[in-house]
Structure 1
Amino acid sequence: MFEKLNKSYGDHHVLRDVSFEVGPGRVTGLLGPNGAGKSTALRCLLGLVRPDSGTVTVHGSVGVTMDSLGFHPNVTVRRQLDIVARSLGLSAERTDEVLRTVGLEGATGKRVRSCSTGMRQRLALATALLPDPELLVLDEPLNGLDPEGIHWMRDLVGALAAEGRTVLLASHMLSEVARSVDDVVVLRGQVLFCGSLRELGDGDPERLESAYLGLASAQRS
């Protein structure tokens, strides 16, 4: 999917020869600290940023959640989804389906500006699911969620992958990545690791953190 991707802003190299693939039926965690290039890589994937060199290949439809995409604050949850659904040529029934999927069927009349951060995350996911995408791109989907919401998101993401979707989840939350993904890509401007979660930390948060810090230390040296 990503092949030798490079992106710089002036003298600042954000991405250097970034190459990795994500597979159907699996959740791949794109892991790295703030400023590691995760969002830039995702924006290249979505065509929002043009790389200096390299290619990104996407097969099938894409659904995405990113904070920068935003919502209109004065419309209701239902209206926000209806606007997107109509632009995609989808029916009101499809809006009903995704509202149930993300647990917002009881909040359809709530204005977006009044929604909690967790509700906005659910609304973002509902928007991403509207076109029934084959690739689901989630940028920091756990931000602002309480423990119950994190558990719900983890289960839903796993269920979506089990349906055969490809899920790419970008996060800096090591403990949750250890519980949510099948494969891991560690990114700090360049790919430091690409493989299964078991290879990196065996699904244990402490081992994952230790392995991650070891990779970062090796890069600096």
Structure 2
Amino acid sequence: MRRPNRNIEIFSMSVLDLFAAALGGFILIAVILFPNYMKTQKAEVDLKETRSDLQVCKKAESEAKQSLATKTAALATCEAALASTFLVVVVEWSSAGNFDVDLHVTDPEGRKFFWGKSNRDKRDFPATEAQLSYDNTRGPGVELWQHPKAVAGTYTIAYDYYGSPGGNQPVEVRGNVFHRNGRIHLPNVTLTETHKLRPVAKVVVNQSGGVDARFDP
């Protein structure tokens, strides 16, 4: 019996071989590059974490700058507070009756405080908080001038013997200047002439809030 003829398709086998070789090559390349792919993924994760850390650092830097600005402002406020002082001038006389002594204080800006311009209602000198807060017209008497935030400069203190019963009878006046660091005693002064301004002292406040006094003879 005669064998049947067999046709062998060489081209079909070559295509299959090509596909198999290509698939094998792809798998081989994928296996070789897989670690690098994992590294790329890890690098992307690290990059995201780095960006996140950078944002946290920028936020912390911004908060630190704000905190520094706040502390700097607070420090400036504290320094300003330390550089300021209050001033209180108190004078008194013990003579009983219609003995009237008036306290006069002139500040560094030339504002003159006395019974006629006490500034208790802030109308006489609106730009300052200083005032003649207490005024007596009979003895024993007390008069008081105060400034809660005395600016640097010279403050002049003087007395005016406004009047007394029965003419120019002598009256002794004593006083003190109080400030943040203590007290300065004003010299005792005996007044004998009425309606004559008698300079007593010049109180000097320096830029750091220190207070000194020079007394008039």
Shorter-chain TM-score: what band? under 0.3
Greater share of helix: 1
Q: Relative CO higher for 1 or 2, CA cutoff 8 Å, sep ≥ 6? A: 1
Larger Rg: 2
TM-score, normalised to structure 1's length?
0.21
